[in-house]
């Protein structure tokens, strides 16, 4: 499934960049994602382990900001349960930039799209997602910039379905599900923007 999702994302991004007449900015990110939890049938909460995430954005200038696509992937496990979770986000995003001093600018933005939770304990793996982000960028040249951002990612999840788990304390079986209908995660990312 990961190959199909990667192929889909690549195709969308390539078609967007080829059809664009304006400048294109491609930004690979590395960052850290935390947040999200599940609960078992006894009401005990287990967090999704905070881990490194990989992301990229492809954008084009629009007025005082940019519009484009954002993709993020976090591979993690459920704390104490060793059940893997792999969460993908693909969003259309828009941001506005504010110059601070020569070479420096700040930005804020919003994103809307979808998420895919590659976990074996839910039936409905796709959901609506949204994000809000803010960051700081330093331009080394017209073609290269260093950027750092913080981002909130929220996604609608199916907490009506559940799956099996094994409790680490005594090895007994349990049933887990997402804790709420809406899962919140937070990212801190750093990346390099290449403009063509």
Alpha-carbon distance values, 65 to 26, 94, 130, 134, 183 (Å): 15, 7, 19, 13, 28
Q: What is the pLDDT of residue 21?
A: 46
Residue-wise pLDDT for 120-151, tens only, equals: 666 667 889 999 999 999 999 999 999 999 99
Domain residue spans of the chain: 29-195
Task: Check: pTM over 0.85? Answer yes or no.
Answer: no
Domain 29-195 has CATH 2.40.160.20: yes
Residue 8 DSSP SS3: helix
Residue-wise pLDDT for 137-191, tens only, equals: 999 999 999 999 999 999 887 666 556 666 666 666 767 667 667 889 999 999 9
Alpha-carbon distance values, 174 to 14, 44, 85, 165 (Å): 44, 11, 17, 5
Is the separation of the CB atoms in 48 and 32 below 8 Å? no
Is the separation of the CB atoms in 32 and 50 below 8 Å? yes
Is the separation of the CB atoms in 54 and 70 below 8 Å? no
Q: What is the pLDDT of residue 113?
A: 97
């Amino acid at each position: 499934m990961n190959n199909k999702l990667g192929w889909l994302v690549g195709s969308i991004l390539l078609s967007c960049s080829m059809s664009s007449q304006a400048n294109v900015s491609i930004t690979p990110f590395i960052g850290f994602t935390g947040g999200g939890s599940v609960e078992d049938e006894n009401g005990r909460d287990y967090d999704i382990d905070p881990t490194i995430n990989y992301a990229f954005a492809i954008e084009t200038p629009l007025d005082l900001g940019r519009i484009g696509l954002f993709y993020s992937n976090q591979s993690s496990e459920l704390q104490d349960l060793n059940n893997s979770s792999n969460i993908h986000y693909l969003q259309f995003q828009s941001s506005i930039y504010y110059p601070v001093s020569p070479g420096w600018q700040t930005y804020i933005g919003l994103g809307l799209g979808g998420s895919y939770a590659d976990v074996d304990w839910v039936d409905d793996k796709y959901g609506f997602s949204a994000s809000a982000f803010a960051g700081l960028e330093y331009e080394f040249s017209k073609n290269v910039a260093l950027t750092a951002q913080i981002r909130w990612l929220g996604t609608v999840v199916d907490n009506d379905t559940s799956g099996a788990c094994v409790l680490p304390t005594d090895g007994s079986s349990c049933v887990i599900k997402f804790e709420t209908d809406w899962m919140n995660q937070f990212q801190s990312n750093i990346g390099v923007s290449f403009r063509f």
